[in-house]
């Protein structure tokens, strides 16, 4: 892979980072250990396989270097001293419930910023330790924690890169069915024939940036009181909680009341937040949509076909964050679940009609119009401005449409983890796999010690919505709740990513 300049939005994420606010994405993938699989029950074999798979992904060999031109810019270049063992590690979990210990450790590992000067990523094998009394050898699950800097990839691109560790992608790559093609180098100094075109393009971009900037300003808030549950001075700590929602239940609600799967999930988040705030004894916003907390809902600019191609290549070329976002008021002040769903659906319909270049969500588009020096100098100010735009990030991450495994061990659950914006205490990640919606909640560890309560309320809120679809009495719903990941049922091969984005 050749040297290439960081795209403007990549550069923004690179400079927004601070020790208290690391800007990496994460995913916790839980696998069922299968005796007789290619890795057997050997933790060292799992680590060796992870190292081999990660080293084969071209993008994971790239690091960030400063450049002279453009002023303030940076470029991706190959790490000539790349050593995959600096990036992959084995961690033995202490005895106890695997789900609890894996979530606790994942939260702690997400606190740590990625090392600069080397490719900005890490992966961990979280081994379940020795079998407990009466448990068959090799029967305990294990997990893989992936951390990728947001400058390296947006959510869909992170899937394309991270999927390179799975058997189905790695085996296809090894067989030569798909090969990554190097991207042509980007010239840092344009030729004379390009100058006139660049000038015309910059004038057009300037006009577009002014329009987007005006839209962002109009959507900004002067009242920064916000929702106490979602605001916090950073402690630098992180906590992870998870929930699992039956995808068929989500689809049943969508079929009964309209909208998309994503609308139902966003309404579930709003209802869960309402329940959680009441349990905490917090005052709900007035019955005024303008006082409800705001969610920033990222929208990828990538075509699914392009993502599938890069997934097959193991995360080859074609880098750069391609994001915008929608702004959504989460109707926590509304007591009726159906009214909340209706409000979410209408707001998202308006967002889609207007397009992602309007409202506070367009800040990502605006970032793509700025000079690199503006990102380098303005990052501290921009990082502190998140609170005037939104209160919580809610992101949906699609997965490949296949049953996945690692070393012959089936993937059972996968929880996406998003970074926290400065001054905020919660981020919500959603993904579908195996007929389930997996919810990853990342919070400031000191500001939100009761994050498990919010995870529980995700299930309860979906139950409440599901009851509205039953004409004669409540529906019967299985609530995973606090679960032992060592007893996860088999996963059928189902469609994943397209279902989530609705």
pLDDT of residue 395: 93
**Which of 110-114, 128-132, 387-391 shows the highest mean pLDDT?**
110-114
Backbone φ and ψ of 163, nearest 5°: -65, -15
pLDDT band with cut points at 50, 70 and 90 for residue 392: very high
Q: What is the pLDDT of residue 306?
A: 47
pLDDT given for residue 39 in this prediction: 56
Whether 262 shows a pLDDT value over 70: the answer reads yes
Confidence of residue 40 (pLDDT cuts 50, 70, 90): low
Query: By percentage, how much of the chain surpasses pLDDT 70?
Result: 67
pLDDT score for 259: 94
Say if strands 392-396 and 294-300 run parallel, antiparallel, or are unpaired: parallel
Q: Identify the residue with better confidence: 354 or 478.
A: 354
Q: What is the pLDDT of residue 305?
A: 47
* pLDDT at position 61 over 70: yes
The least confident of 187-196, 224-233, 259-268 is 187-196
Tens-digit pLDDT profile for residues 200-252: 444 444 444 444 444 444 455 545 556 677 887 778 899 999 999 999 999 99
Least confident of 77-81, 179-183, 493-497: 493-497
92, containing H or E segment: strand 88-92
Q: Please, which residues have CB within 8 angstroms of residue 100's CB and are 6 or more apart in sequence? A: none
**Distance of alpha carbon 188 from the chain centroid:** 31
**C-alpha gyration radius of the chain:** 22
pLDDT of residue 419: 92
For residue 337, the cross-strand partners are none
79/62 Cα distance (integer angstroms): 6
Is the pLDDT confidence value at 342 over 50?
yes
Residue 317 pLDDT level (bands cut at 50, 70, 90): very low
Percent of the chain's residues with pLDDT above 90: 45
Where residue 198 falls among pLDDT bands split at 50, 70, 90? very low
How far apart (Å, rounded) are the C-alpha atoms in residues 369 and 8? 7
> What pLDDT was estimated at residue 247?
96
Highest mean predicted confidence (pLDDT) among 102-116, 364-378, 459-473: 102-116
3-state secondary structure of 116: coil
Place of tokens 């994971």: 60
Q: Please provide the average confidence, as pLDDT, over all residues in the chain.
A: 78
Q: E strands within 219-359?
A: 238-246, 294-300, 323-329
Position with higher pLDDT, 477 vs 16: 16
* Distance separating alpha carbons of residues 287 and 303, to the nearest angstrom: 39
CB count in 10 Å sphere of residue 181: 13
Report the predicted TM-score, pTM, of the whole model to 2 decimal places: 0.81
Buried residues in 267-296 as b, exposed as e (16+ CB within 10 A)? bbbbbbbbbbbeeeeeebbeeeeebbbbbb
Highest average pLDDT, of 106-110, 187-191, 312-316, comes from: 106-110
Q: How far apart are CA 188 and CA 439, in angstroms?
A: 42
**Res 397 pLDDT > 50:** yes
Q: Which pLDDT does position 494 carry in this prediction?
A: 32
Kind and range of the H or E run holding 411: strand 409-417
Of 132 and 395, more confident: 395
pLDDT at residue 132, rounded to an integer: 55
What's the pLDDT score for residue 435?
Answer: 94
Tell me phi and psi for residue 29, to 5 degrees: -105, 125
Residue partners of 497: CB distance under 8 A and separation at least 6: 159, 304, 398, 399, 400, 401, 432
CA-CA distance, 22 to 9, in Å (whole number)? 16
Residue 399: pLDDT band by 50, 70, 90 thresholds? confident
pLDDT at 383: 58
Interval 303-311 mean pLDDT: 47
Distance between CA atoms of 198 and 320, rounded to whole angstroms? 20
């Amino acid at each position: 892979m050749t040297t290439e300049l960081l795209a403007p939005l990549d550069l923004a994420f690179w400079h927004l980072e601070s020790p208290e606010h690391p800007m990496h994405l994460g995913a916790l993938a839980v696998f069922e250990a299968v005796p007789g699989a290619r890795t057997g029950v050997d933790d060292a074999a799992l680590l060796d396989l992870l190292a081999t798979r990660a080293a084969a992904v071209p993008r994971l060999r790239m690091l960030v270097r400063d450049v002279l031109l453009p002023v303030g810019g940076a470029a991706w270049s190959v790490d000539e001293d790349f050593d995959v063992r600096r990036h992959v590690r084995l961690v033995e979990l202490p005895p106890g419930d695997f789900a609890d210990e894996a979530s606790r450790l994942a939260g702690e590992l997400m606190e740590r910023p990625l090392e600069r000067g080397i490719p900005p990523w890490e992966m961990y094998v979280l081994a379940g330790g020795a079998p407990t009394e009466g448990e068959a050898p090799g029967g305990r699950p294990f997990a893989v924690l992936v951390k990728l800097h947001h400058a390296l990839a947006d959510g869909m691109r992170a899937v394309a890169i991270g999927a390179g560790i799975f058997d189905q992608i790695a085996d296809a790559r090894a067989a030569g069915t798909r090969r990554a093609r190097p991207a042509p180098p980007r010239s840092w100094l344009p030729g004379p024939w390009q100058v006139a075109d660049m000038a015309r393009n910059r004038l057009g971009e300037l006009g577009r940036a002014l329009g987007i900037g005006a839209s962002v300003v109009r959507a900004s808030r002067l009242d920064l009181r916000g929702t106490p549950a979602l605001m916090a001075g950073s402690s630098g700590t992180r906590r992870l909680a998870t929930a699992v929602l039956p995808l068929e239940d989500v689809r049943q609600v969508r079929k009964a009341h309209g909208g998309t799967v994503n609308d139902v999930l966003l309404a579930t988040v709003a209802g869960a937040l309402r329940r959680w705030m009441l349990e905490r004894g917090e005052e709900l916003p007035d019955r005024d949509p303008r006082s409800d907390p705001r969610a920033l809902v990222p929208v990828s600019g990538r075509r699914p076909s392009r993502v599938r191609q890069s997934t097959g290549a193991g995360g080859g070329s074609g880098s750069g964050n391609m994001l915008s976002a929608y702004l959504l008021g989460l109707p926590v002040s509304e007591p009726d679940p159906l009214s909340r769903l209706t409000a979410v659906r209408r707001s998202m319909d308006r967002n889609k009609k207007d397009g992602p270049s309007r409202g506070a969500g367009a800040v990502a588009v605006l970032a793509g119009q700025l000079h690199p020096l503006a990102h380098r100098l303005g990052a501290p100010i921009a990082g502190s401005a998140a609170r005037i735009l939104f209160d919580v990030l809610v992101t949906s991450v699609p997965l490949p449409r296949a049953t996945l495994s690692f070393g012959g061990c089936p993937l059972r659950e996968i929880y996406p983890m998003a970074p926290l914006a400065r001054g905020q205490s919660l981020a919500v990640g959603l993904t579908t796999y195996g007929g389930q919606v997996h919810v990853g909640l990342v919070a400031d560890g000191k500001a939100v010690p009761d994050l498990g309560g919010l995870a529980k309320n995700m299930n309860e809120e979906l139950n409440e919505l599901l009851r509205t679809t039953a004409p004669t009495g409540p529906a019967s719903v299985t609530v995973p709740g606090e679960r032992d990941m060592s007893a996860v049922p088999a996963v059928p091969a189902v469609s994943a990513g397209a279902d989530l984005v609705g």
